[in-house]
Structure 1
């Protein structure tokens, strides 16, 4: 199963995940092209004639973008986490605020974005940031582009008593959606995960968030935890659904090399569920959520009453996004520089170094890669097939006006076999996974990517 591990959007959107049913994901080679040396810019960002024409035909895609803002500090490091975060120490709040504002302004200028579709504050623990910093970033964004009054503005919240008490201030600052990191309702499991809150803290935080932003609260929960059984998981999920709002994100626990939890499992001090049990947990969660009125709109995300995350939908639909803050990732076309190709950008990881770079140059972009047309189409497939709706023909044509899905994938024997097995659907609506296929996405992607690459190679040879 191809499942999005818990991570901040904009920080690791294209991360490949541990498979539950079919073994470790085998298509890392398709993503290896996105790794590059610090400071390197690859290729000719002015683009080929074909790529320039494609960009013109989907110009609207370059005129709007989401913004991801990364707050890198935490009070402690969770035992399973290997993301870009730093234990909070003497942080100059004024300096961080000024640098986040300045980088937001610079990237908006570089991208020439005229409309901001959503803003997401992730981390780290962004609920440790002063609400005044959140307000300042939003005000800066609104000064340099159109930020609609009803645009989704999400803040990730660590459900500690301190975090819950500040939610009202964050709402005043401009936040209108909270994503609460519940992770578990079992205190012992929270201790093993290294979390600094209790189950009661989490429930109180969810209740306060719902009071402030009813219908706009998401809860994150991790399954596959050490010692967890399928029965315990189903009971816990039912309890969570009795108190949660209208959005749930499920994340399979993945043991990341170098983390404390990984070392404990390797040493035999802790055991995690077997892959078949993990698969059972995921399948039962989908059924339970469905009975409670939640629609699965993405591999790991479920919503009812239309409470879909518009910010995350922008990622999955291959929209532009600006990554602000240490270690943030972005995808946008730097039109102010006269570029026509979208670039994959990564900001400097270390906060102290990032601050110096922003103060000197206005931004802390460490790495940038112009994405060739084939690479962009790969992202459209990789991200779009995570959605239950898949990739529509209309959406595909925005990125590939001269080669539709049927032309690119319809003649593939491997793709036809996946359809015959009931895992994939290619019809007049577009390309999407079936219910069974969505749980096996990692095994479906390699032949699709290979066929896309072969079609691109044939087109290049003819050209």
Structure 2
């Protein structure tokens, strides 16, 4: 399980204070940034959807007269600019998210990938993922995306129950979802991920487990289980607040999650992150970059990024957010080469908090070697070893700390043979 950020912050602060009281050591030079400073993943945000789903508060818009050629030009310009500013020389993966990027033209995807390959090294076997909704992903369209350079699909099924799909405001039926899944597997064998939601209003454990079991009879090697989060400002939130729908039961949702984990484990899936399961080695290398606190560049309206702007002479990792509204973002890109609305330099403490918060989501946790890439002087034992809170979590079976790593309760630390 992921630990509260406030708790992680307290541990890091205490350990840093203890570190300052020790005699200074000669480390042979200034502390270098974490490895991968010239490597990064790239996220590209397509901001448009056919309609807004009842549960969604993402940065998305309903298209009305979209000039895709202009949007494509801006995505290309911003990708090239951020690659130059970051000093990134190798792009490990590209993820087209949204919104509904399967509404975009395959030509747009191809243009962005070509721009990336011109500005940095994009290995031929890099993972290139496209999020797709069943109603915008016919077989011929998926094949065109494959020809454009996509080699992995993430399909937003969300449910295999038509009543639930209507509740969620989805535009597809369960039959549409299964047809799209079959076509995707034919075109991208072994590289198709599906999303399934749990914890919906009035949803029960038994029927939901039957959905999951039915999905496992036809899905590929990657499944993501996401619990519904009622977000203020969404239709579903309002319906629950007004009493038109029952509030989701957190105890039932927890039971669904635990039972779902057991079903997936029995089917040969490895739970490599809190919500993500893979078999046959089909982990998402792009998402793994996030959880390992690697660098990533965010391109497009509202995209987020984390990188060191080395190409502009920077030495500190920054959290960046691009301008949300597409028209405003495009104007900024045409004026400045990018539409970065907010830049926040991350302190050493904030970076270490992220390493902890993200790493504890995974089944490898934070290994001592990984931690020392970000903090070579302060070990995990310095941070956790004498903590009363950590000892209590260990006694409750919620945390494991040994000579290999620190890992949360959902997963366990890998063992040497």
The TM-score with structure 2 as length reference comes to 0.92
Map of 1:306 onto structure 2: 281
State the distance in 1 between where 2:367 and 2:157 align: 34
**Contact conserved, 2:137 with 2:180, CA < 8 A, in 1?**
no
Go from structure 1 to structure 2 and tell me whether the alpha carbon gap of 1:425 and 1:29 turns closer, same or farther (over 3 Å shift).
closer
Gaps of 5+ in 2: 11-26
Change (3 A) 1:79 1:392: same
Match of 1:256 in 2: 231
Q: Is the 8 A contact 1:419 1:425 kept in 2?
A: yes
**2:331 aligned residue:** 356
Is 1:108 paired with 2:83? Answer: yes
Report what 1:176 is aligned to.
151
Instruction: State how far apart, in whole Å, the 2-side matches of 1:140 and 1:393 are.
Output: 37
CA distance in 2, matches of 1:367, 1:253: 29
- C-alpha change, 1:179 and 1:289, in structure 2 (3 Å) is same
> 1:54 maps to what in 2?
31
- Is the contact made by 1:72 and 1:326 (CA closer than 8 Å) also made in structure 2? yes
Specify whether residues 248 and 365 from structure 1 end up closer, same or farther in structure 2 by C-alpha distance, changes over 3 A only: same
How many residues are treated as equivalent by the alignment?
397
Alignment of 1:152-301 (within 5 A): 152-160=127-135, 162-301=137-276
Pairing of 1:416-435 with structure 2 (within 5 A)? 416-435=391-410
Which residue in the other structure is 2:320 paired with?
345
Aligned residue in 2 for 1:6? none
Q: What is the alpha-carbon distance in structure 2 between the residues aligned to residue 150 and residue 437 of structure 1?
A: 30
- 1:3-36, Cα deviation, whole Å (9 max, x unpaired): xxxxxxxxxxxxx9xxxxxxxx7849969xxxxx
Alpha-carbon distance in 2 for matches of 1:164, 1:302: 26
Q: Aligned partners of 2:411 and 2:41: how far apart in 1?
A: 31
Mapped to 2, the partners of 1:360 and 1:304 lie a distance apart of 46
Q: 1:25-51: CA deviations, max 9, x gaps?
A: 7849969xxxxxxxxxxxxxxxxxx9x
The residue aligned with 1:145 is 120
Where does 1:360-375 land on structure 2 (aligned, <5 Å)? 360-375=335-350
Does 2:45 align with 1:70? yes
Give the CA RMSD over aligned residues.
2.1
Stretches of 4+ aligned residues off by more than 4 angstroms: 25-31, 161-164
The range that moved more, 86-95 or 157-166, is 157-166
Of 409-418 and 76-85, deviating more is 409-418
Give distance in 1, aligned partners of 2:213 and 2:312: 52
Q: In the alignment, is the contact (CA less than 8 A) between 1:423 and 1:437 conserved in 2? A: no
Q: Please give the TM-score of this superposition, normalised by the length of structure 1.
A: 0.83
CA distance in 2, matches of 1:259, 1:252: 16
Three-state SS of the structure 2 residue aligned to 1:85 is: coil
User: Which residue among 115, 120, 128 is the counterpart of 2:95?
Assistant: 120
Match of 1:90 in 2: 65
Q: 1:328 aligns with which of 290, 300, 303?
A: 303
Over 3 Å counting, the alpha-carbon distance change for 1:127 and 1:319 in structure 2 is: same
- Note the residue ranges of structure 1 that are not aligned, 5 or more in a row: 3-15, 17-24, 32-49, 439-463
The alignment partner of 1:254 has SS state of coil
Aligned partners of 1:423 and 1:436 also within 8 Å: no
